[in-house]
Amino acid sequence: MVRPSNPTRASPTWIGTVKCLGTPHLSGNSNSTQIVLSRRTRLPEHMMTRNPFFPKFTELPTDIPIFPLSGAVVMPGVQLPLNIFEPRYLNMVFDALASDHLIGMIQPTSTTLTDEVPEIHRVGCAGRMTSYSETSDGRIVLVLTGVCRFQVVRETEGRRGYRRVVANWERFAADYHQNQEKIADRKGFLSSLKSYCQLRGVEVPWEDVEKMADGDLTNLLCAHLPLSPEDKQALIETLPTGERAALMRGLLDMASVSNIHGTEHRH
């Protein structure tokens, strides 16, 4: 299992992470969420070139361990803090540390979520462990930094209790490109985002957000806004930045309208 950990700023590839206030949003029941951006480094055009330890696209492995977890999403360049304590996932971390440090985050399907071995979606995102520490009570606190999305070709034989898949990266080769597609109406997108965050109690450092490149911004929001697992999955699977931003804006607007109507009905 996993618990959300306190965010860390140890990694040189920092874009952002999330601080949970109240019930952790990874469980899908967030009371309040705070998106935190680093103020120690300039936000570059694209973070993928900032970490020399990331594999080249041609070096990405075909066989990777996966961590099926609903609502926990990593995207390229974005950090996801995790608190690992279940034995099979401790094994996964140890094995990844002994090889390429990569773990594939993927969501189980909603219809099989409570199954002992749930079915998984066909698209996830691999992250590299960029920060790692051990605790005196047997937990591992780590940070995954997103590297590249992948398509599941098939599931292979598990290892030491955790699951593995054959991954195809070709569809998402653009995750390595530095030339990012722009958001068509960035001003309107930010307006929808501000309305959503105000209604949902999400705290965002707007000055920092306005400096972020469009692709990095949409990736950060996809990973850390308290959207439903189904909405997050739809965003993960949408390739072009512009289309993903348009989809996200639609989801934010629908959630805002639903929230307003729900408030009106209670009064």
Domain boundary, last residue among 145, 176, 207: 176
> 143 and 29, same structural domain?
yes
The count of domains in the chain is 2
Tell me the pLDDT tens digit for each residue of 153-197.
999 999 999 999 999 999 999 998 865 678 999 999 999 999 999
* In the predicted structure, residue 263 carries a pLDDT above the cut 70: no
> 116 and 29, same structural domain?
yes
Domain annotation covers residue 75: yes
Domain span at residue 249 reads: 186-266
> 218 and 94, same structural domain?
no
> 219 and 88, same structural domain?
no
pTM: 0.80
**CB neighbours of 169 closer than 8 A, spacing ≥ 6?**
57, 60, 148, 149, 150, 151
> 143 and 19, same structural domain?
yes
Tell me the pLDDT tens digit for each residue of 60-112.
999 999 999 999 999 999 999 999 999 999 999 999 999 999 999 999 998 88
